Amino acid sequence: MTALEPRSSQATATRWRRAGFLLPAGVALLAGLDAALMLLGLPAPVAADRLPEVHGMLLVLGFVGTVVALERAVALRHPAGFAAPAGLGLGALLLIVPAPLAAGRMALCLGALAMVAVYVPLWRRQRDDAVLVQAFGAVLAAGGALLWLGNVDVPVLLPWLVGFVVLTIAGERLELARLAMGPRAGPAFLALSAALAGAVAAALLWPVPGYPLLGLALLALVGWLAVHDAARRTIRSTGLARYIAGCLLAGYGWLAVAGAIWLLGGAALDGPRYDAVVHAVFLGFTISMILAHAPVILPAVLRRPLPYHPLMIAPGVLLHGSLALRLWAGDARGIHLAWQVGGVLNVTALLLFVGVAAWASVRAAHRAGAS
């Protein structure tokens, strides 16, 4: 046995442990996509009655929340940090199986609160504005989970979930693009993030002025990101840099759409405006950002290569094209068939990216093993 073999075995064990935390997130993603087909009024592989009711929480806290919490736990480098992805993943599974709904809600609350706790030592270690912005997002995730535990309807607590994903992803952009944004970026961005968090609370307490204020805060934040992010320059490059920039700029555009809907029309609690806000944020922005950062973040978390391949462009193009069809022809113009077709293609785009990413990762690992 060589000296490299124990180290290799340890890395493999670590990879499998972390993959175990991601498994519930993957199940939540598939269940959420199944529920999406049901909500579109189309046949779904699993026709469980409760899935449409928990669709949003499965995808936002069960899938995105677990992935974010796992990435932060890896950054913390302490076993206690993994309580957050464990709790959120367990909550997602409890929402799917025929357990009391309250059990799943409680597990999500505990997982979200554990995620807030992870940011305390991370902040003490770095004293970084980007970490504080992400901590704001975790607090909003915990607030949304607690509101849901208290039987507040998802459309009412939606701004809390929006705030969670926006501040978490925006904080990571500040963390990853610090040099390009400049040394003064942190304080200005922190002020905008605090304003967004305050607007989220205002939308719950005083909906009439709160939602336009929330829309304005969202537009201000996305405008700042669009101006300061290096993506405006790297879009003219090639390969991975251009791919990431394209995903980022498209995501900022969809986030601006959601902000404009709230600013101009106020609260959107049902109907086409609600559908447009939800999917502009959680598909157009959130999934686009996941597509952009997957080749960078997933290898660091799972210790498995995920190199960029031009085929990754296809799911991104399909995602944004189908979302434009869904929101413009479906929601804005009231064409039901376009809404359904756009929704099915949204689901297809996500599954296509999972397939392309898995293929690229296996291909890279096979090449590394053969060399």
CA distances from 189 to 13, 42, 141 (A): 39, 42, 20
> 367 in a domain, yes or no?
no
> 79 in a domain, yes or no?
yes
Reduced to 3 states, what is the DSSP secondary structure of residue 161?
Answer: helix
| Reported confidence tier of residue 177, pLDDT bands at 50, 70, 90 | low
Selection from 76, 73, 156 nearest residue 111 by Cα = 73
* Inter-residue contact 252 to 232 (CB < 8 Å): no
| Reported confidence tier of residue 101, pLDDT bands at 50, 70, 90 | very high
CA–CA gap between residue 257 and residue 101 (Å, rounded):
33
Q: What is the pLDDT of residues 200-237, one digit of tens each?
A: 999 999 999 999 999 999 999 999 988 888 888 889 99
CB contact set of 274 (below 8 Å; sequence gap of 6+): 155, 268
* Inter-residue contact 230 to 193 (CB < 8 Å): no
Selection from 306, 154, 286, 192 nearest residue 240 by Cα = 306
Lowest mean pLDDT among 34-43, 69-78, 270-279, 359-368: 359-368
Q: What was the pLDDT predicted at 6?
A: 53
> 48 in a domain, yes or no?
yes
List the structure tokens of 323: 């979302």
Q: What is the pLDDT of residues 297-321, one digit of tens each?
A: 877 777 777 888 899 999 999 999 9
The arithmetic mean of pLDDT across residues 341-357, rounded, is 96
CA–CA gap between residue 267 and residue 206 (Å, rounded):
11
- 78 CB-contact burial (10 Å; exposed 0-12 / middle 13-18 / buried 19+): exposed
> 72 in a domain, yes or no?
yes
- What type of residue is 108? L
> 326 in a domain, yes or no?
no
Reduced to 3 states, what is the DSSP secondary structure of residue 364?
Answer: helix
pLDDT at 371 > cutoff 90: no
User: b/e string for 201-224 if b means 16 or more Cβ within 10 A?
Assistant: bbbbeebeebbbbbbbbbbbbbeb
> 47 in a domain, yes or no?
yes
> 68 in a domain, yes or no?
yes
> 66 in a domain, yes or no?
yes
Count how many domains the chain has: 1
- DSSP string computed for 336-348: HHHHHHHHHHHHH
- DSSP string computed for 279-333: HIIIIIIIIHHHHHHHHHHHHHHHS------GGGHHHHHHHHHHHHIIIIIIIIT
* Inter-residue contact 340 to 325 (CB < 8 Å): no
**How many CB atoms are located within 10 Å of the residue 126 CB?**
13
Residue-range definition of the domain harbouring residue 85 = 22-126
- 8 CB-contact burial (10 Å; exposed 0-12 / middle 13-18 / buried 19+): exposed
What mean pLDDT, rounded, does the chain reach? 91
Which spans in the chain are helix H? 4-39, 51-57, 66-76, 83-96, 101-126, 129-149, 154-176, 178-181, 185-205, 207-228, 231-234, 239-265, 271-279, 288-302, 313-324, 336-370
Q: What is the pLDDT of residues 272-297, one digit of tens each?
A: 999 999 999 999 999 999 999 888 88
Q: What is the pLDDT of residues 255-272, one digit of tens each?
A: 999 999 999 999 999 999
CA distances from 105 to 38, 86, 165, 175, 345 (A): 22, 14, 19, 31, 30
DSSP 79: G
